[in-house]
A = this chain, B = another copy of it.
Amino acid sequence: MRRSPRRPLILKRRKLPFVKSETEVPHDEPDGPQRKVAPAAHDDPCLPDAIRIVDHPSMPDTQVVVIPKTADLQTIIDTLSAKGKECGPQGPNKFILLSGGSGSLEDWPSSLSLPALGEDSNIRAFGNPLTFNEAAEGGARTDCSVETTPPTTATPLDKELDCSLLDESLTNIQWLGGMCSDGLGTDAERKTANKENQETCAQRLQPSQNLDGAQRPPYSYMAMIQFAINSKPDRRMTLKEIYTWIEDHFPYFRNVAKPGWKNSIRHNLSLHDMFIRETSQDGKISFWTIRPEANRCLTLDQVYKSEADPAASHSSQAAQVCETQQVKPAVPLMKRTTAPISSERKMKPLLPRTDSYLVPVQLSLSPSLFLPLAASQQNCSSSAADFPGGAKRVRIAPKCAPPPVEELKEEPLKPPTGDTPITISEPWRRTPSGRESQDVLDFSPIRTPLGAALTPQHQNHTPFSLNITPFQEPPLFSSPRELLTSPGMERQRPCSRELQVGGPPTANRSITEGLVLDTMNDSLSKILVDISFSGLEDEELDVCNISWSQLIPELK
């Protein structure tokens, strides 16, 4: 009964299933696949359980494969691997496997065999000696019931295997970002509203039309500030520019919202660590930036989705419109007609920054996957296995040459020291949080080469909708905030905006676990994928957070 529009109810959280990595999966049994579901080789568009394949919006020769849970992973890997080899270096040869939301976890095969699995030397038993209590107690009860969402019928999308970017037409008007037509009507009402929190705007005027921003956008202030700042090429905005950008792109705030929304903007800027204030050299001007490690590179173009088109590639064109529009900072009041409306828009909900209650799975990351094709192609690296605590790679077929030793010459990265017997000295343990490591990181053997420079293929500022977060995993945390402020995550990385795309700390991201099948390498690796705006239809993608290591024990 208080005020209605409190807390836009954007974010949804769900308890993720606790994955008992090594407690259930036998070990290495090469038993055959069960439940042979057709791999849906993108020939059968309407198969209800078909695999959906889309090109990665930014990575070349890479496709995202969303696999329903009832599908047989073994067959899929075999099929994709064969297909990748057919296409060779010019066709799609990397596949990011994500688990679809259909079915429940119990439908998965408990183990899965990989052909010609090499005995990886650095596969270490790092189950969860410190968290077995939770696994033993709560694991068998409700935590495995998992994802009882009704199986979405999954109107499958078949993308051609060519690497051309998609550009279907947008459809389906839902949230019309139509700009209001009173661009100059704000001065008068601001005179009457000095106290910043008074009901001055046209509060009850347009009750329910989408035009003029009567509906509040489904994004938090934090998200909108990111939209605004990331729209500038230098990713730097003054407070007033942020105000103006939000008013221009979300007319709700110009027309409907109470003036206190600016207070909230300032509050968010101050409160959240991800927003950092910089000062011009003369100290006169303050610019707000986004801490590069925390920048999900959210942009407004990723917001709008079309009905049947999962392609996120051409929506970046709209972003370019935004950027060029923002570049000229003059005439702040009359830009509404040029704005990125394009009128046929529907807002996609923003996934949570990261999954709360992330399952404490160990993720392996092979940096070679994120090298540009030119580098990862010449000599397929087995160097990932040599990282002190990093990438665990499961080979499908032995193939490769010695590692190229790419850019990974950072600090020597102190030895893992994870082999010391874990002495449970204190009866209390800090509730899963990435901070301070302590016992948590003793349990995790992953000492990622934090400063390892990757060369992401992504364009500099062009937005993308499927980020891959390399060589950094959330150790064990229960809330994104803890991850954000966890020390050690952010060393002194030079904030170069070129490298920030896949930057180390996974804070403020929306992460799911995936597999990368690299047919050039014959490797299968686990990765973290940022699916903030996946570019896929949310209803269809419906990525389920599972741990691939539950299916493939070799991945641990």
Contacts and interface: CB of A to CB of B under 8 A. Distances in A.
Interface of A: 133-134, 137-138, 236, 270-271, 273, 276-283, 286-287, 424, 427-431, 433, 435-438, 479, 481-482, 485, 487-492, 495
A438 B490 CA distance: 12
Contacts of A424: 281
Contact of A490 (B138, B278, B487): B487
Q: What's the number of copies of this chain in the assembled complex?
A: 2
Nearest to A494: B438
Contacts of A435: 273, 276
Contacts of A437: 492
Contacts of A138: 283
Contact of A430 (B276, B283, B429, B479): B276
B278 A429 contact: yes
Contacts of A492: 436-438
Interface centre among A236, A270, A430, A482 (most CB of B within 10 A): A430
Contact of A133 (B282, B286, B433, B495): B282
Interface centre among A278, A487, A495 (most CB of B within 10 A): A487
Contacts of A280: 427-428
Query: Top 8 nearest A-B pairs by Cβ distance?
Result: A485-B485, A277-B431, A278-B428, A279-B431, A487-B487, A281-B427, A278-B430, A487-B490
Given A487-B488, A490-B436, A490-B487, A278 B431 contact: yes
Contacts of A491: 487-488
Contact of A428 (B281, B429, B436, B479): B281
Given A270-B481, A273-B482, A278-B429, 16 more contacts: A133-B283, A137-B282, A137-B283, A270-B479, A273-B435, A276-B431, A278-B428, A279-B430, A279-B431, A281-B424, A281-B427, A281-B428, A436-B490, A436-B492, A485-B485, A488-B491
28 contacts: A133-B281, A133-B282, A133-B283, A137-B282, A138-B283, A270-B479, A271-B481, A273-B435, A273-B481, A273-B485, A276-B435, A277-B431, A277-B433, A278-B428, A278-B430, A279-B431, A280-B427, A280-B428, A281-B424, A281-B429, A286-B431, A436-B490, A436-B492, A436-B495, A438-B492, A438-B495, A487-B488, A487-B491
B428 A287 contact: yes
B433 A276 contact: yes
B487 A430 contact: no
Nearest to A429: B279
B430 A277 contact: yes
A495 B430 CA distance: 12
Nearest to A273: B485
A492 B488 CA distance: 9
A279 B130 CA distance: 12
Contacts of A427: 280-281
Contacts of A488: 487, 491
Contacts of A481: 270-271, 273
